[in-house]
Amino acid sequence: MTQVFNFSAGPAVLPREVLLQVQQELTDWHGTGMCVMEMSHRGKEFTQIIHEAEADLRQLMGIPSNYKVLFLQGGAHFQFSMLPLNLARQDDTVDYVNTGHWSKIAIKEARRYANVNIAASSEDRNFSYVPDEAGWKKTANAAYLHYCSNETIGGVEFPFIPDAGNVPLICDMSSNILSKPVDVSKFGLIYAGAQKNIGPSGLTLAIVREDLLGRARPETPTMLDYKVQADGESLYNTPPTFAIYVAGLVFKWLLAQGGVRAIEQRNIEKAALLYETIDASGGFYHCPVDRANRSRMNVAFTLGDESLDDAFLEGAKARELLQLKGHRSVGGMRASIYNAMTVEGVRALTDYMREFASSKG
Amino acid sequence: MTQVFNFSAGPAVLPREVLLQVQQELTDWHGTGMCVMEMSHRGKEFTQIIHEAEADLRQLMGIPSNYKVLFLQGGAHFQFSMLPLNLARQDDTVDYVNTGHWSKIAIKEARRYANVNIAASSEDRNFSYVPDEAGWKKTANAAYLHYCSNETIGGVEFPFIPDAGNVPLICDMSSNILSKPVDVSKFGLIYAGAQKNIGPSGLTLAIVREDLLGRARPETPTMLDYKVQADGESLYNTPPTFAIYVAGLVFKWLLAQGGVRAIEQRNIEKAALLYETIDASGGFYHCPVDRANRSRMNVAFTLGDESLDDAFLEGAKARELLQLKGHRSVGGMRASIYNAMTVEGVRALTDYMREFASSKG
C-alpha cells in the first residue's frame, strides 16, 4: 500500500498500530464474532471498552476523582452553547480570551446566552501571539473564564495555564489535549473534539469538576445538561460506540509510548525540526507567530513568494506529503503534527522544504 | 472466526459484506494511503463519500428535491429537543401519538417547549397496539403531529402513515427506516438514529422539507438549528465522517439487494417465520402485540413460563444466538431482525425456539 504522511488539521492521522488493530478486530472483536459497531452499548463487551477507555484517560491525564469524564457528541461547537447554558445565567458576565478563529466562534455563541467580557485579545496583530496575562481584564465575579489552549488555524498555543482565581477556568483543548502533561485540577471544565489527538470525529470529550454539575438553565435541552450526561455515565442515550472504542485504543497506544510526558518530548522534537527549517530558510519560509507562542501541533507558515504556493503543494503531493494547505481563512501552509505524526514524517517534510527552497531560491 | 447471529436492538448487526469492505479499506481507502477516519471532512475524498451517500439514500427512499438530507449527531434524543425548538413556539400546541417508550420520551421533552396534546395513546393496553386513526383527537392548527413509526422496545409498528392534513407530519423512524418503501412527500420531517438500519451509532439522519427550515427560536443553540445544518450541507462543523462512510456502504449494499422494495419482502419473510413460530407454540411463547401492529423489525415475545427465561437465553447463547433478552423495562425476549439480519439467522432462531419448546413442553 501507499506510504503517505498526512498533515491534516483534523480529522487527522491516527497511530498506524491503532489502525492495524482496528482492522484486525473489525469483524470479530475478542472472539465475540461481532464488530464493535454491532454491540449493544449496554452489553458487557462495550461496558468493558468504555470503562477501560475512561480508566486509561484518567491515568494519562492524572484526572482527579472529583472530575467526571464524559464521552459526548457534537464537537466543540456543541460545547460553545452547552457551556453558557450550564454555567451562566443571561445576566452573568463570562470572560473570554480571544486568540483566533476558534475563540471567536465560542465568543459569538456565548454572546447569545450571557454578557461576554473579552478579557484579552490578540486581534490587533492578526492573532499571532498570546496576550501577556498581566494585562488581562478579568471580571472578579465572572461565571467562568474561557480560553482556547491551541488555535488550530493560527498555530498559536498557550505556553501557560491562566490563573482564574476562584472563577471556573474553562479550556477548549481540542487540538492539543494529550500532547503534554496538564494539571487538570486547575480547570473547571476541559473539552475537546476527538478528531485531532483522540480518535475519530463525532466524539467529544468533556472533563468536568463535579461541583459544576446541576446548574443548567431550565430551558437547556436535556442532552446538553452536563449533569444528565454525568448521571448517565455517558450512556444516557446511545453514544458513538465505535469512536469510543478507537479512542480507547489511542489511549492504550499513548500509554505504551510512555504517556504524555514521553509524547511531549517527541512533539517538542517534531516542532523544533519544522520551526528551525522555517527560520533557517532566510525568508523563503515565514512563520507569523511569536516564537514563545508557536504551536507544537499546528505549524502555520507562508512562502515569501506566494506565487510558489501551488508548486510547493504539488511537489509535496508528489512525495505523498498530504493536506498541507493552510485554512481557507488565512491561506499559506499548515503542517499539523499531532501525537500520531511520526518524526520520520516531519523529516520527510523538512527535507522536502529545504530542497524546494534551494531549487527555487 | 465465530459465526454468530446478533439480535441486538441497536447498535445492531451490519451487513457482513459491508464490514468486510470496511476491513479491507481500513488502512488505505481507494489507494489514498489514508483511513477514512484520517481524512479532512472538506477534502475531495470525503466530499465524494458524503455526496454518494446522500445520492444513494435519495435514490433508495425516493426523496423529493424539496427535502434536505442532513447527517447529524446526537441520536433521536437530540431530535426530541430540536423539533419543538425549530418548529413550535412556547404557546403552540403540538400533537403527539403515544405508542410506547420512545413516544413517551419525545413527549416528555416536548412538554418543556410547547403545549403537548396527546392525539392518541395505547397506554390503556400496555402499548400493545396502534390506536385506530379514526379516534385520534388532532389539533386543527397544531405546529406539527409527531409519531414513532416503530417502537423498538414494545415491538409495535404502524401499518399506515397518519393523515395530518396541512399540519407537518413528523416521524421518528429510527428503527424501521429503509425497511420498506415510504412516501417521503407525506412528511414534514423524518429522523432516525443510525444504529439500527443505517450504520454505526453517533450518526443521526434527518430528512426535512425545505419550507420548515429557518423557523428556529432565537434561543436555539446554533447546532440545533436545522437551517444552519442545511445551509452547511451537514458540514457546519466536523461531522462523524467514519459513520457517514459506513452508512454510505450500507446504502450501496441495500441498492445491490434490490432496494427497499426487495428488502421489504425479505423482512416480511423473516417476521413471518418468527411470529408463526410463536403463534404455533400453543402458548409456550406469546407475543403481546396485536397482529396488525406487530413489528417487522423487533419481535417481542414472552415465555408462558417465565421461570424458563434464563434457560432459554443460555441455550440460545450456546448456539451463538445473541442479545435476545428483552429491554429491562418490559422483560421477556426480543429478537431484532433489521435489514442486515439474514433469513438464515432467523431460521436458526426459530429452529432453536421449537426445539427448546419441545424439550421443555
Q: Do B238 and A13 touch (CB under 8 A)?
A: no
pTM confidence score: 0.98
What dihedral do alpha carbons A186, A187, A192, A194 form, nearest 10°? 50
pLDDT, average across residues A205-231: 97
Residue A125, in any domain of the structure = yes
Residue B8, in any domain of the structure = no
> Concatenated DSSP letters for A213-282?
TT---TTS-GGG-HHHHHHTTT-SS---HHHHHHHHHHHHHHHHHTHHHHHHHHHHHHHHHHHHHHHTTT
Q: Residues 6 or more apart from A51 whose CB is under 8 A from it?
A: none
Quote the pLDDT of residue B329.
80
On whether both A155 and A299 belong to a single domain, the answer is: no
Quote the pLDDT of residue B20.
98
| Residue A10 scores a pLDDT above 70 | yes
On whether both A138 and A265 belong to a single domain, the answer is: no
- Domain total for chain A? 2
Whole-angstrom CA distances from A126 to A98, A121, A330, B238, B268 are: 11, 10, 10, 25, 63
Q: Which residue, A131, A159, A160, A165, is CA-closest to A145?
A: A165
Residue A88, in any domain of the structure = yes
Query: Domain range for residue A55?
Result: 16-256
Does the annotation flag B342 for ligand binding? no
B72 - beta bridge partners?
B204
pLDDT band at A13 (very low <50, low <70, confident <90, very high): very high
Whole-angstrom CA distances from B36 to A10, B21, B44, B154, B232 are: 12, 12, 12, 37, 21
Contacts of B113 in chain A (CB under 8 A): 219
Task: Tell me how far apart the alpha carbons of residues A228 and A184 are, in angstroms, rounded to a whole number.
Answer: 22
Residue B9, in any domain of the structure = no
Minimal CA separation from B32 to chain A, in Å: 7
Span B17-54, pLDDT tens digits:
999 999 999 999 999 999 999 999 999 999 999 999 99
CB A75 within 8 A of CB A201: yes
Q: Do A237 and B76 touch (CB under 8 A)?
A: yes
Quote the pLDDT of residue A361.
72
Interface of A with B in 37-96 (CB under 8 A): 37-41, 43, 73-78, 80-82, 85
Quote the pLDDT of residue A1.
57
Element (H, E) at A145: strand A145-148
On whether both A234 and A277 belong to a single domain, the answer is: no
Residue A251, in any domain of the structure = yes
Contacts of B75 in chain A (CB under 8 A): 73, 237-238
The gap between the terminal CA atoms of chain A, to the nearest Å, is 34
User: Which CATH number characterizes residue B354's domain?
Assistant: 3.90.1150.10
Contacts of A195 in chain B (CB under 8 A): 238
Edge-to-edge strands, sheet with A298-303: A285-286, A298-303, A333-336
Quote the pLDDT of residue B80.
98
On whether both B326 and B244 belong to a single domain, the answer is: no
Task: Tell me how far apart the alpha carbons of residues A125 and A130 are, in angstroms, rounded to a whole number.
Answer: 10
- Domain end among A256, A273, A294: A256
- Domain end among B228, B256, B284: B256
On whether both B263 and B252 belong to a single domain, the answer is: no
Span B240-268, pLDDT tens digits:
999 999 999 999 999 999 999 999 999 99
Residue A7, in any domain of the structure = no
Q: What share of chain B is helix, strand, coil (3-state, %, to 5)?
A: 40, 15, 40
Task: Tell me how far apart the alpha carbons of residues A274 and A347 are, in angstroms, rounded to a whole number.
Answer: 8
Q: Which of A29, A102, A136, A253 is catalytic?
A: A102
Matching residue, cell 475563540:
A103
Residue B5, in any domain of the structure = no
Helix orientation angle between A259-279 and A44-61, rounded to the nearest 10 degrees: 60
pLDDT band at A202 (very low <50, low <70, confident <90, very high): very high
Quote the pLDDT of residue B1.
57
Residue A3, in any domain of the structure = no
Element (H, E) at B280: none
Q: Which of A172, A225, A252, A270 is catalytic?
A: A172
Span A126-175, pLDDT tens digits:
999 999 999 999 999 999 999 999 999 999 999 999 999 999 999 999 99
Q: Do A201 and B238 touch (CB under 8 A)?
A: yes
Task: Tell me how far apart the alpha carbons of residues B246 and B359 are, in angstroms, rounded to a whole number.
Answer: 42
Q: What is the β-pairing status of strands B333-336 and B298-303?
A: antiparallel
CB B236 within 8 A of CB B229: yes
CB B320 within 8 A of CB B341: no
Give the whole-number percent of chain B exceeding pLDDT 90: 97
Q: What is the mean pLDDT of chain A?
A: 97
Whole-angstrom CA distances from A250 to A215, A257, A343, B26, B79 are: 33, 10, 18, 16, 31
On whether both B262 and B244 belong to a single domain, the answer is: no
On whether both B275 and B330 belong to a single domain, the answer is: yes
Long-range contact pairs involving B44-51 (C-beta distance under 8 Å, separation at least 24)? B46/B241, B46/B245, B49/B241, B49/B244, B49/B245, B49/B248, B50/B234, B50/B235, B50/B239, B50/B244, B50/B248
Task: Tell me how far apart the alpha carbons of residues B281 and B4 are, in angstroms, rounded to a whole number.
Answer: 25
CA angle B283, B287, B291 (to 5 degrees): 115
| Residue B330 scores a pLDDT above 90 | no
On whether both A126 and A210 belong to a single domain, the answer is: yes
On whether both B96 and B146 belong to a single domain, the answer is: yes
Q: Which residue, B335, B294, B8, B302, is CA-closest to B127?
A: B294
On whether both B48 and B146 belong to a single domain, the answer is: yes
Span B163-193, pLDDT tens digits:
999 999 999 999 999 999 999 999 999 999 9
Task: Tell me how far apart the alpha carbons of residues B215 and B188 are, in angstroms, rounded to a whole number.
Answer: 13
CB B122 within 8 A of CB B116: no
On whether both B248 and B263 belong to a single domain, the answer is: no
A342: left (phi over 0), alpha (psi -120 to 50) or beta: beta
Span A264-286, pLDDT tens digits:
999 999 999 999 999 999 999 99
On whether both A177 and A201 belong to a single domain, the answer is: yes
A44 three-class SS: helix
- Domain end among B256, B284, B314: B256
Q: Which residue, A57, A105, A99, A66, is CA-closest to A187?
A: A66
Q: Residues 6 or more apart from B255 whose CB is under 8 A from it?
A: B56, B59, B60
User: Which CATH number characterizes residue A29's domain?
Assistant: 3.40.640.10
